[in-house]
Amino acid sequence: MAENFKNAIFAAVLTAILTIPIFGLQLVRKGAQTHIIPDWDLVLMGIGAVFIVQLLIRPYIFNKISLRKRGAGWALPVLKPRTVNLLILLVVVVAAIWPFFGARAHVDIATLVLIYVMLGLGLNIVVGYAGLLDLGFVGFYAVGAYTYALLFHWAGWGFWASLPMAGAMAAFFGYILGFPVLRLRGDYLAIVTLGFGEIIRLLLINLSQWTGGPDGIANIPKPTLLGHAMTRRAPAGEETFHQMMGWAYNSNHVVIYLYLLALALAVITLLVSNRLIRMPLGRTWEALREDEIACRSLGLNPTNIKLSAFTLGAMFAGIGGAFFAARQGLVNPESFTFIESALILAVVVLGG
Protein backbone atom coordinates (compact mmCIF):
# COMPACT_ATOMS: atom_id res chain seq x y z
CA MET A 1 0.00 0.00 0.00
CA ALA A 2 2.87 2.34 0.82
CA GLU A 3 4.41 1.69 -2.60
CA ASN A 4 1.08 2.42 -4.29
CA PHE A 5 0.78 5.66 -2.32
CA LYS A 6 4.25 6.81 -3.43
CA ASN A 7 3.44 5.98 -7.04
CA ALA A 8 0.16 7.87 -6.77
CA ILE A 9 1.91 10.95 -5.35
CA PHE A 10 4.52 10.84 -8.12
CA ALA A 11 1.85 10.50 -10.83
CA ALA A 12 -0.17 13.38 -9.34
CA VAL A 13 2.89 15.67 -9.20
CA LEU A 14 3.82 14.78 -12.79
CA THR A 15 0.25 15.48 -13.89
CA ALA A 16 0.35 18.86 -12.16
CA ILE A 17 3.61 19.80 -13.89
CA LEU A 18 2.18 18.90 -17.30
CA THR A 19 -1.32 20.36 -16.91
CA ILE A 20 -0.83 23.60 -14.97
CA PRO A 21 0.89 25.51 -17.83
CA ILE A 22 -1.73 24.30 -20.35
CA PHE A 23 -5.03 24.20 -18.48
CA GLY A 24 -4.31 26.01 -15.21
CA LEU A 25 -3.37 29.37 -16.73
CA GLN A 26 -5.61 31.12 -19.24
CA LEU A 27 -4.92 34.21 -21.33
CA VAL A 28 -7.80 36.67 -21.12
CA ARG A 29 -7.82 39.81 -23.25
CA LYS A 30 -9.18 42.95 -21.59
CA GLY A 31 -9.08 45.89 -23.94
CA ALA A 32 -5.58 46.25 -25.32
CA GLN A 33 -4.00 44.18 -22.55
CA THR A 34 -3.72 40.44 -22.01
CA HIS A 35 -3.90 39.01 -18.52
CA ILE A 36 -3.06 35.56 -17.16
CA ILE A 37 -5.90 34.25 -15.01
CA PRO A 38 -5.55 31.00 -13.05
CA ASP A 39 -8.22 28.33 -13.53
CA TRP A 40 -7.57 25.52 -11.10
CA ASP A 41 -10.85 23.57 -11.20
CA LEU A 42 -10.02 21.39 -14.19
CA VAL A 43 -6.41 20.91 -13.08
CA LEU A 44 -7.41 19.81 -9.58
CA MET A 45 -10.00 17.41 -10.99
CA GLY A 46 -7.40 15.87 -13.28
CA ILE A 47 -4.80 15.56 -10.52
CA GLY A 48 -7.36 13.99 -8.20
CA ALA A 49 -8.49 11.52 -10.86
CA VAL A 50 -4.90 10.46 -11.60
CA PHE A 51 -4.17 10.06 -7.88
CA ILE A 52 -7.26 7.89 -7.29
CA VAL A 53 -6.63 5.74 -10.36
CA GLN A 54 -2.99 5.22 -9.42
CA LEU A 55 -3.75 4.49 -5.76
CA LEU A 56 -6.88 2.33 -5.98
CA ILE A 57 -7.93 1.31 -9.48
CA ARG A 58 -4.58 0.52 -11.10
CA PRO A 59 -3.41 -1.95 -8.38
CA TYR A 60 -6.77 -3.73 -8.61
CA ILE A 61 -6.46 -4.08 -12.38
CA PHE A 62 -2.90 -5.33 -12.24
CA ASN A 63 -3.84 -7.89 -9.59
CA LYS A 64 -6.07 -9.40 -12.29
CA ILE A 65 -3.27 -9.52 -14.81
CA SER A 66 -2.26 -12.95 -16.00
CA LEU A 67 1.45 -13.76 -15.70
CA ARG A 68 3.07 -16.40 -17.86
CA LYS A 69 6.10 -18.14 -16.45
CA ARG A 70 9.10 -18.13 -18.74
CA GLY A 71 11.92 -20.36 -17.53
CA ALA A 72 13.12 -19.33 -14.09
CA GLY A 73 11.65 -15.84 -14.33
CA TRP A 74 8.39 -14.17 -15.16
CA ALA A 75 7.16 -12.68 -18.38
CA LEU A 76 5.95 -9.12 -18.60
CA PRO A 77 2.41 -8.71 -17.29
CA VAL A 78 -0.23 -9.04 -19.97
CA LEU A 79 -3.75 -7.70 -19.63
CA LYS A 80 -6.50 -10.12 -20.54
CA PRO A 81 -8.26 -9.23 -23.81
CA ARG A 82 -11.55 -8.75 -21.98
CA THR A 83 -9.93 -6.26 -19.60
CA VAL A 84 -8.35 -4.37 -22.49
CA ASN A 85 -11.68 -4.15 -24.32
CA LEU A 86 -13.44 -2.89 -21.19
CA LEU A 87 -10.76 -0.24 -20.66
CA ILE A 88 -11.01 0.92 -24.28
CA LEU A 89 -14.80 1.07 -24.04
CA LEU A 90 -14.55 3.06 -20.81
CA VAL A 91 -12.15 5.56 -22.38
CA VAL A 92 -14.40 6.03 -25.42
CA VAL A 93 -17.51 6.53 -23.26
CA VAL A 94 -15.75 9.07 -21.03
CA ALA A 95 -14.38 10.87 -24.09
CA ALA A 96 -17.88 11.03 -25.59
CA ILE A 97 -19.46 12.41 -22.39
CA TRP A 98 -16.70 14.89 -21.53
CA PRO A 99 -17.51 17.67 -24.09
CA PHE A 100 -20.94 18.23 -22.52
CA PHE A 101 -19.21 19.31 -19.30
CA GLY A 102 -15.88 20.68 -20.56
CA ALA A 103 -15.02 24.23 -21.53
CA ARG A 104 -15.61 25.17 -25.15
CA ALA A 105 -11.96 26.09 -25.75
CA HIS A 106 -10.79 22.72 -24.42
CA VAL A 107 -13.30 20.83 -26.57
CA ASP A 108 -12.14 22.75 -29.64
CA ILE A 109 -8.51 21.91 -28.89
CA ALA A 110 -9.43 18.26 -28.35
CA THR A 111 -11.06 18.23 -31.80
CA LEU A 112 -7.79 19.36 -33.35
CA VAL A 113 -5.94 16.72 -31.33
CA LEU A 114 -8.22 14.02 -32.73
CA ILE A 115 -7.42 15.19 -36.26
CA TYR A 116 -3.74 14.63 -35.51
CA VAL A 117 -4.63 11.21 -34.10
CA MET A 118 -6.07 10.28 -37.51
CA LEU A 119 -3.01 11.65 -39.28
CA GLY A 120 -0.66 9.85 -36.89
CA LEU A 121 -2.43 6.54 -37.45
CA GLY A 122 -2.16 7.01 -41.20
CA LEU A 123 1.54 7.86 -41.12
CA ASN A 124 2.17 5.01 -38.69
CA ILE A 125 1.26 2.56 -41.46
CA VAL A 126 3.92 4.05 -43.74
CA VAL A 127 6.68 4.77 -41.23
CA GLY A 128 5.96 2.49 -38.30
CA TYR A 129 4.94 -0.73 -40.05
CA ALA A 130 6.27 -0.51 -43.60
CA GLY A 131 9.46 1.30 -42.52
CA LEU A 132 9.22 3.95 -45.26
CA LEU A 133 10.29 7.40 -44.05
CA ASP A 134 7.73 9.86 -45.45
CA LEU A 135 8.50 13.56 -44.90
CA GLY A 136 5.80 14.81 -47.25
CA PHE A 137 2.76 13.27 -45.59
CA VAL A 138 1.18 16.70 -45.29
CA GLY A 139 0.70 16.62 -49.07
CA PHE A 140 -2.01 13.96 -48.72
CA TYR A 141 -3.54 15.98 -45.91
CA ALA A 142 -3.74 18.96 -48.26
CA VAL A 143 -5.23 16.87 -51.07
CA GLY A 144 -8.06 15.75 -48.80
CA ALA A 145 -8.77 19.26 -47.55
CA TYR A 146 -8.78 20.84 -51.01
CA THR A 147 -10.83 17.99 -52.46
CA TYR A 148 -13.70 18.84 -50.14
CA ALA A 149 -13.27 22.58 -50.66
CA LEU A 150 -13.23 22.28 -54.46
CA LEU A 151 -16.09 19.79 -54.62
CA PHE A 152 -18.25 22.15 -52.60
CA HIS A 153 -17.41 25.32 -54.51
CA TRP A 154 -17.41 23.84 -58.01
CA ALA A 155 -19.94 21.00 -57.72
CA GLY A 156 -21.98 21.88 -54.64
CA TRP A 157 -21.12 18.66 -52.83
CA GLY A 158 -21.67 18.51 -49.07
CA PHE A 159 -19.32 17.14 -46.44
CA TRP A 160 -20.68 13.60 -46.32
CA ALA A 161 -20.55 13.17 -50.08
CA SER A 162 -17.06 14.67 -50.26
CA LEU A 163 -15.56 12.69 -47.36
CA PRO A 164 -15.08 9.37 -49.22
CA MET A 165 -13.96 11.27 -52.32
CA ALA A 166 -11.31 13.08 -50.27
CA GLY A 167 -10.00 9.76 -48.98
CA ALA A 168 -10.07 8.25 -52.48
CA MET A 169 -8.29 11.22 -54.06
CA ALA A 170 -5.57 11.22 -51.40
CA ALA A 171 -5.18 7.44 -51.84
CA PHE A 172 -4.79 7.98 -55.59
CA PHE A 173 -2.01 10.51 -54.98
CA GLY A 174 -0.38 8.07 -52.56
CA TYR A 175 -0.49 5.40 -55.26
CA ILE A 176 1.04 7.79 -57.80
CA LEU A 177 3.79 8.79 -55.34
CA GLY A 178 4.56 5.15 -54.68
CA PHE A 179 5.92 4.49 -58.17
CA PRO A 180 8.88 6.94 -58.13
CA VAL A 181 10.03 5.72 -54.72
CA LEU A 182 9.88 1.97 -55.36
CA ARG A 183 13.66 1.65 -55.64
CA LEU A 184 14.52 4.26 -53.03
CA ARG A 185 15.36 3.71 -49.38
CA GLY A 186 16.42 5.68 -46.35
CA ASP A 187 17.51 9.27 -46.93
CA TYR A 188 16.75 9.20 -50.66
CA LEU A 189 13.17 8.16 -49.98
CA ALA A 190 12.81 10.91 -47.37
CA ILE A 191 14.08 13.55 -49.82
CA VAL A 192 11.65 12.48 -52.57
CA THR A 193 8.65 12.49 -50.23
CA LEU A 194 9.72 15.85 -48.84
CA GLY A 195 9.78 17.19 -52.39
CA PHE A 196 6.31 15.77 -53.01
CA GLY A 197 4.90 17.68 -50.05
CA GLU A 198 6.45 20.94 -51.23
CA ILE A 199 5.29 20.38 -54.82
CA ILE A 200 1.69 20.00 -53.63
CA ARG A 201 1.94 23.22 -51.64
CA LEU A 202 3.44 25.16 -54.55
CA LEU A 203 0.78 23.84 -56.92
CA LEU A 204 -1.91 25.04 -54.53
CA ILE A 205 -0.32 28.50 -54.57
CA ASN A 206 0.15 28.74 -58.34
CA LEU A 207 -3.13 27.22 -59.54
CA SER A 208 -4.91 30.28 -58.25
CA GLN A 209 -7.81 30.07 -60.71
CA TRP A 210 -8.85 26.81 -59.03
CA THR A 211 -7.43 26.91 -55.51
CA GLY A 212 -7.58 30.61 -54.73
CA GLY A 213 -3.79 30.88 -54.60
CA PRO A 214 -2.24 32.05 -51.31
CA ASP A 215 -5.65 33.19 -50.04
CA GLY A 216 -7.09 29.71 -50.30
CA ILE A 217 -10.78 28.82 -50.31
CA ALA A 218 -13.20 30.20 -47.73
CA ASN A 219 -16.83 29.65 -46.72
CA ILE A 220 -16.50 25.88 -46.51
CA PRO A 221 -19.59 24.51 -44.74
CA LYS A 222 -19.46 22.40 -41.63
CA PRO A 223 -20.85 18.84 -41.60
CA THR A 224 -24.62 18.51 -41.44
CA LEU A 225 -26.50 16.34 -38.97
CA LEU A 226 -29.35 14.25 -40.40
CA GLY A 227 -29.27 16.51 -43.45
CA HIS A 228 -29.70 19.72 -41.43
CA ALA A 229 -27.10 22.46 -41.00
CA MET A 230 -25.72 23.08 -37.51
CA THR A 231 -25.36 26.81 -38.16
CA ARG A 232 -27.57 29.64 -36.93
CA ARG A 233 -29.17 30.10 -40.35
CA ALA A 234 -29.68 27.59 -43.13
CA PRO A 235 -29.72 28.31 -46.88
CA ALA A 236 -33.01 29.52 -48.29
CA GLY A 237 -35.70 26.88 -48.23
CA GLU A 238 -33.86 24.66 -45.72
CA GLU A 239 -34.16 24.14 -41.99
CA THR A 240 -31.37 24.09 -39.42
CA PHE A 241 -30.98 21.26 -36.95
CA HIS A 242 -31.92 23.35 -33.92
CA GLN A 243 -35.05 24.58 -35.71
CA MET A 244 -36.05 21.00 -36.51
CA MET A 245 -35.57 19.99 -32.87
CA GLY A 246 -37.24 23.13 -31.52
CA TRP A 247 -34.15 24.19 -29.58
CA ALA A 248 -32.67 27.63 -29.09
CA TYR A 249 -29.49 28.09 -31.11
CA ASN A 250 -26.28 27.56 -29.15
CA SER A 251 -22.90 27.82 -30.84
CA ASN A 252 -21.50 25.30 -28.34
CA HIS A 253 -23.58 22.61 -30.03
CA VAL A 254 -21.50 22.98 -33.19
CA VAL A 255 -18.24 22.61 -31.26
CA ILE A 256 -19.51 19.52 -29.44
CA TYR A 257 -20.82 17.98 -32.67
CA LEU A 258 -17.48 18.48 -34.43
CA TYR A 259 -15.68 16.93 -31.47
CA LEU A 260 -17.95 13.87 -31.42
CA LEU A 261 -17.58 13.48 -35.17
CA ALA A 262 -13.79 13.72 -34.90
CA LEU A 263 -13.87 11.16 -32.08
CA ALA A 264 -15.93 8.77 -34.21
CA LEU A 265 -13.58 9.17 -37.19
CA ALA A 266 -10.51 8.65 -34.97
CA VAL A 267 -11.99 5.49 -33.41
CA ILE A 268 -12.94 4.11 -36.84
CA THR A 269 -9.44 4.89 -38.13
CA LEU A 270 -7.92 3.11 -35.14
CA LEU A 271 -10.11 0.03 -35.58
CA VAL A 272 -9.45 -0.19 -39.33
CA SER A 273 -5.69 0.29 -38.97
CA ASN A 274 -5.48 -2.33 -36.20
CA ARG A 275 -7.47 -4.74 -38.34
CA LEU A 276 -5.16 -4.14 -41.31
CA ILE A 277 -2.10 -4.75 -39.16
CA ARG A 278 -3.45 -8.13 -38.02
CA MET A 279 -4.22 -9.19 -41.58
CA PRO A 280 -1.62 -10.82 -43.88
CA LEU A 281 -1.14 -7.40 -45.47
CA GLY A 282 0.08 -6.02 -42.15
CA ARG A 283 2.52 -8.90 -41.79
CA THR A 284 3.96 -8.11 -45.20
CA TRP A 285 4.51 -4.49 -44.12
CA GLU A 286 6.50 -5.70 -41.14
CA ALA A 287 8.47 -8.11 -43.32
CA LEU A 288 9.35 -5.27 -45.69
CA ARG A 289 10.46 -3.11 -42.80
CA GLU A 290 12.74 -5.77 -41.34
CA ASP A 291 14.48 -6.90 -44.54
CA GLU A 292 13.42 -6.15 -48.10
CA ILE A 293 15.76 -8.75 -49.60
CA ALA A 294 14.43 -11.49 -47.33
CA CYS A 295 10.93 -10.28 -48.11
CA ARG A 296 11.59 -10.73 -51.82
CA SER A 297 13.15 -14.16 -51.29
CA LEU A 298 9.94 -15.31 -49.59
CA GLY A 299 7.99 -14.59 -52.76
CA LEU A 300 6.51 -11.31 -51.58
CA ASN A 301 6.32 -8.39 -53.98
CA PRO A 302 7.92 -5.29 -52.38
CA THR A 303 6.39 -3.09 -55.09
CA ASN A 304 2.83 -3.97 -54.15
CA ILE A 305 3.63 -3.81 -50.44
CA LYS A 306 5.02 -0.28 -50.70
CA LEU A 307 2.13 0.88 -52.86
CA SER A 308 -0.42 -0.51 -50.41
CA ALA A 309 1.26 1.25 -47.48
CA PHE A 310 1.42 4.61 -49.25
CA THR A 311 -2.14 4.28 -50.55
CA LEU A 312 -3.81 3.33 -47.27
CA GLY A 313 -1.80 5.81 -45.21
CA ALA A 314 -2.68 8.59 -47.65
CA MET A 315 -6.37 7.65 -47.50
CA PHE A 316 -6.51 8.30 -43.74
CA ALA A 317 -4.69 11.60 -44.26
CA GLY A 318 -7.23 12.64 -46.90
CA ILE A 319 -10.15 11.91 -44.59
CA GLY A 320 -8.48 13.93 -41.85
CA GLY A 321 -7.86 16.76 -44.31
CA ALA A 322 -11.53 16.89 -45.35
CA PHE A 323 -12.60 17.12 -41.72
CA PHE A 324 -9.96 19.81 -41.09
CA ALA A 325 -11.40 21.89 -43.94
CA ALA A 326 -14.92 21.48 -42.55
CA ARG A 327 -13.82 22.48 -39.06
CA GLN A 328 -11.83 25.52 -40.16
CA GLY A 329 -14.19 26.73 -42.88
CA LEU A 330 -11.06 27.91 -44.71
CA VAL A 331 -8.08 26.22 -46.33
CA ASN A 332 -4.93 27.82 -47.69
CA PRO A 333 -1.45 26.52 -48.57
CA GLU A 334 0.09 27.88 -45.37
CA SER A 335 -1.78 25.22 -43.41
CA PHE A 336 0.21 22.49 -45.16
CA THR A 337 3.88 23.34 -44.75
CA PHE A 338 6.74 20.99 -43.90
CA ILE A 339 6.28 21.83 -40.22
CA GLU A 340 2.99 19.92 -40.32
CA SER A 341 4.74 16.84 -41.72
CA ALA A 342 7.37 17.09 -39.01
CA LEU A 343 4.68 17.43 -36.35
CA ILE A 344 2.79 14.37 -37.59
CA LEU A 345 6.05 12.41 -37.71
CA ALA A 346 6.77 13.51 -34.13
CA VAL A 347 3.34 12.18 -33.12
CA VAL A 348 4.23 8.78 -34.58
CA VAL A 349 7.71 8.68 -33.02
CA LEU A 350 6.63 9.84 -29.57
CA GLY A 351 3.64 7.51 -29.68
CA GLY A 352 5.93 4.53 -30.18
pLDDT for res 165: 94
pLDDT of residue 323 exceeding 60: yes
Lowest mean pLDDT among 146-155, 178-187, 191-200, 201-210: 178-187
Lowest mean pLDDT among 62-76, 84-98, 142-156, 330-344: 62-76
Question: Per-residue pLDDT averaged across 118-127, rounded?
Answer: 92
Question: Per-residue pLDDT averaged across 345-350, rounded?
Answer: 88
Written in H, E and C, the secondary structure of the chain is CHHHHHHHHHHHHHHHHHHHHHHHEEEEEECCEEEEEECHHHHHHHHHHHHHHHHHHHHHHHHCCECCEECCEECCCECCHHHHHHHHHHHHHHHHHHHHCCCHHHHHHHHHHHHHHHHHHHHHHHHHHCCCCCCCCHHHHHHHHHHHHHHHHHHCCCHHHHHHHHHHHHHHHHHHHHCCCCCCCHHHHHHHHHHHHHHHHHHHHHCHHHHCHHHCEECCCCCCECCECCCCCCCCCCCCHHHHHCCCCCHHHHHHHHHHHHHHHHHHHHHHHHHHHHCHHHHHHHHHHHCHHHHHHCCCCHHHHHHHHHHHHHHHHHHHHHHHHHHHCEECHHHCCHHHHHHHHHHHHHCC
pLDDT of residue 69 exceeding 50: no
For the ranges 79-93, 219-233, 311-325, the one whose mean pLDDT is highest? 311-325
pLDDT for res 72: 47
pLDDT of residue 7 exceeding 90: no
pLDDT of residue 66 exceeding 50: no
Question: Per-residue pLDDT averaged across 116-144, rounded?
Answer: 90
Question: Per-residue pLDDT averaged across 198-226, rounded?
Answer: 87
Question: Per-residue pLDDT averaged across 52-79, rounded?
Answer: 58
pLDDT of residue 283 exceeding 50: yes
Question: Per-residue pLDDT averaged across 3-31, rounded?
Answer: 76
Question: Per-residue pLDDT averaged across 89-110, rounded?
Answer: 86
Residue, of 5 and 215, whose pLDDT is higher:
215
pLDDT of residue 192 exceeding 50: yes
Predicted confidence (pLDDT) per residue in 13-22, tens digit:
888 887 777 7
Question: Per-residue pLDDT averaged across 43-56, rounded?
Answer: 80
Question: Per-residue pLDDT averaged across 186-195, rounded?
Answer: 85
Query: Model confidence at 142, in pLDDT bands (50, 70, 90)?
Result: very high
pLDDT of residue 298 exceeding 70: yes
pLDDT of residue 321 exceeding 90: yes
pLDDT of residue 158 exceeding 50: yes
Domains of the chain and CATH, by start:
103-350 (1.10.3470)
pLDDT for res 209: 87
Residue, of 163 and 350, whose pLDDT is higher:
163
